[in-house]
Amino acid sequence: MSSKSGSGAREPLVHLSRRASISPLKAWGIRGAAILLGLLACGLAAFLLIEKLQQSPEKIGDFYYSFIRGSFSTSRKLWKFLKNTSILLCISLALTPAFRMRFWNTGGEGQTLVGVLGAIAVAFYLGGKIPEWLLLLLMLAAALLSGALWGVIPALFRARWGTNETLFTLMMNYVATYLVSYFLVIWVPSGSSSLGKLKYGKLPQVYNEHLLIILIVVALTAGLYIYLNYTKHGYEISVVGESVRTAQYIGINERKVIVRTMILSGALCGLAGYLIAAGADQTVTVNSAGGQGFTGILVSWLGKFNPLMMILTAALIQLLNQGAGQISQDFGVNNALPNVIIGIVLFFIIGSEFFINYEIHFRRSGRKESAGRAVK
């Protein structure tokens, strides 16, 4: 990097240039190779961290087999895998419109959490007093509104004064966390600060308790794909993301787009919160979103902000998560192991993007070659 320019200076050993394009096959080949390398590195890390493997190294086969077993060995695990993937995907989808316009919404965690809180608040105060179908609708409205509110506050300041949205949305997560603990203290005066499962406000079962959630998220994926790629709003989002100046030049009101998109993004996080509240947990804790607001950022980015591709990336993360959960159970390791595994694999995928975006040229022997490139 520090080569001096001027006559007689040698061409640097490595020289990078941005690729104009890359064939999808090659790009996926690189990503696939990265995932394999990542899993290999996980195996190495496992030898360092898991005593049972150190004692009997032949169990490494079991280690890798657990990734399959964690999600597919029983139908209960499979449904759990599908449901958790759906909820993670829902949060990732919610964040995607914001990311497409280069608005770094790191507040998915808080927007989801207030969604859960809003839904549960309605169920807590009105549960049993009004018909169940009305309750479920009101819960949905409350979840969407609170999520949208949490998303639009940073957006308003960003649109008006250019306030840094990454840091603002990040802080809103913690305001949400303590808002939840505030309400828990009010609702549960005994001091145990655990609300327990509510009796009312549970989504109806379709085949089993998971299928409805999955169907809703599938519909959302298709809807968002169309919204982002085939509507005027989606186009405006892309233009604002590509270049604010272009947007201003062709008459797009960039502030309006930012505020509108963040209302959508927050509301969809609220929807995820609703699915968690009415579909799965029926209660609220400070961990209701469980870090998925952050994981969703990774899922969305890995999926190139493309809703269809994000189905795969969400499934990959959930597969690693449940697989590593199985490993920590089988091998008796701390239950934080999934985070280590996901982290390692993601490092490799993140690194691999470089080889997709950039071309590496090594210095060739002979001046002719380099002279030829310099002209080009």
Partner 1 sequence: MNIWLNFLIDSLAFGAVFIYGSTGEILTEKAGHLNLGIPGIMCMGGAGGCLVLNAIGKSALPPFVIVTLGILGALAFAMLCGGIYAFLTVTLRANQNVTGLTLTTFGVGLSKVIMTKLDTVVYLVSTRDYFRWPFAGRKDSLQLLGVLFFLAIAVALISSWVLFRTKTGLHLRAVGENPGTADAVGINVTRYKYLATLIGSGIAGLGGLYYIIDYMASQEAYLSVEAWGWLSIALVIFALWRPHMTIIGSTVFGILFSLGSFITNVSWIKVTMATIPLLKMLPYVVTILVLIISSIRNKRENQPPASLGLSYFREER
Q: Which residues bind partner 1 (CB under 8 A)?
A: 1-2, 16-18, 49, 104, 106, 157, 161-164, 166-168, 170-172, 174-175, 178-179, 181-182, 185-186, 191, 291, 294-295, 297-298, 301, 333-334, 336-340, 342-344, 346-347, 350-351, 353-354, 357-358
Tell me the closest approach of the beta carbon of residue 266 to partner 1, in angstroms. Answer: 16
Tell me the closest approach of the beta carbon of residue 205 to partner 1, in angstroms. Answer: 33
Residues 6+ apart with CB under 8 A from 216: 86, 90, 275
As a dihedral over the C-alpha atoms of residue 293, residue 298, residue 299, residue 304, rounded to 10 degrees, the angle is: 130
Residues 6+ apart with CB under 8 A from 165: 103, 104, 105, 154, 155, 158
- Closest to partner 1 by CB, 82 vs 175, is 175
Mode of pairing for the β-strands spanning 358-362 and 14-18: antiparallel
On whether the CB atoms of residues 317 and 342 are closer than 8 A, the answer is yes
**How would you label 223-237 residue by residue, b for 16+ Cβ within 10 Å and e otherwise?**
ebbebbeeeeebebb
Tell me the closest approach of the beta carbon of residue 240 to partner 1, in angstroms. Answer: 17
- Closest to partner 1 by CB, 244 vs 350, is 350
- Closest to partner 1 by CB, 164 vs 246, is 164
Can you state the angle between helices 75-100 and 254-274, rounded to 10 degrees? 170
Tell me the closest approach of the beta carbon of residue 282 to partner 1, in angstroms. Answer: 22
- Closest to partner 1 by CB, 73 vs 163, is 163
- Closest to partner 1 by CB, 189 vs 251, is 189
Tell me the closest approach of the beta carbon of residue 44 to partner 1, in angstroms. Answer: 13
As a whole number of angstroms, the longest Cα–Cα distance in the chain is 86
Tell me the closest approach of the beta carbon of residue 17 to partner 1, in angstroms. Answer: 7
Tell me the closest approach of the beta carbon of residue 270 to partner 1, in angstroms. Answer: 20
Q: Select from 342, 285, 280, 282 the least CA-distant residue to 90.
A: 280
Tell me the closest approach of the beta carbon of residue 350 to partner 1, in angstroms. Answer: 5
Tell me the closest approach of the beta carbon of residue 6 to partner 1, in angstroms. Answer: 13
Residues 6+ apart with CB under 8 A from 286: 113, 177, 180, 181, 184
On whether the CB atoms of residues 299 and 321 are closer than 8 A, the answer is no
Tell me the closest approach of the beta carbon of residue 230 to partner 1, in angstroms. Answer: 27
**How would you label 137-148 residue by residue, b for 16+ Cβ within 10 Å and e otherwise?**
ebbbebbbbbbb
- Closest to partner 1 by CB, 29 vs 351, is 351
- Closest to partner 1 by CB, 17 vs 248, is 17
CA distance 196 to 313: 33
Q: Select from 125, 78, 128, 99 the least CA-distant residue to 269.
A: 99
- Closest to partner 1 by CB, 87 vs 213, is 87
On whether the CB atoms of residues 203 and 135 are closer than 8 A, the answer is no
Residue 163: Cβ within 10 Å count = 13
- Closest to partner 1 by CB, 142 vs 349, is 349
- Closest to partner 1 by CB, 23 vs 334, is 334
Half-sphere exposure of 59 (CA within 13 A, CB side): 14
